[in-house]
Amino acid sequence: MAEAFAQGNQQGHSESERTEILTEIALCKQRIKNAETLFLKARIDQHEIDKYIEENEKESARLQVTLSEEAQIKEMMELSIKMFTEMGSEWDKASNKDKQEYVQSLLRKGSKMT
């Protein structure tokens, strides 16, 4: 989780960067349409159109993954913050015995991980 938080802080895109990525995706789609037009007009052959389509589909997919990863990280961070907030309010309501049992269970789980 710590790695995802760090990654989220490093890779967060500003609104202008997000707009730029979306523009690049649209440009890739337009390049594919342009290649199809050139192919239909017999300006390029099958090999060239396949190359244009493959290159632009790969680039578009890469850019979409970038946006998708950012959204997933943001969602995970929001969910974690909500969970910690709720856990804090429950902690305040819990009895000392319940708090002690919870901490002991965390310590047992932590020792099993190492």
pLDDT value, residue 91? 85
Would the pTM count as exceeding 0.75?
no
Give CA torsion, residues 18, 76, 82, 106, to 10 deg. -150
Tell me the Ramachandran region of residue 71: left when phi exceeds 0, alpha when psi lies from -120 to 50, beta otherwise: alpha
Cα Dmax for the chain: 80
Where do the structural domains in the chain lie, given as residue ranges?
2-113
Comparing C-alpha atoms, which of 23, 21, 30 is closest to residue 53?
30
20 contacts: CB under 8 Å, gap ≥ 6: none
Compute how many other C-beta atoms are within 10 angstroms of the C-beta atom of residue 28. 21
Mean pLDDT over residues 90-108, rounded?
85
Tens-place pLDDT, residues 34-65: 999 999 999 999 999 999 999 999 999 999 98
Q: How many residues does the structure list for the chain? A: 114
CA distance 85 to 49: 54
pLDDT above 90: percentage of residues in the chain: 39
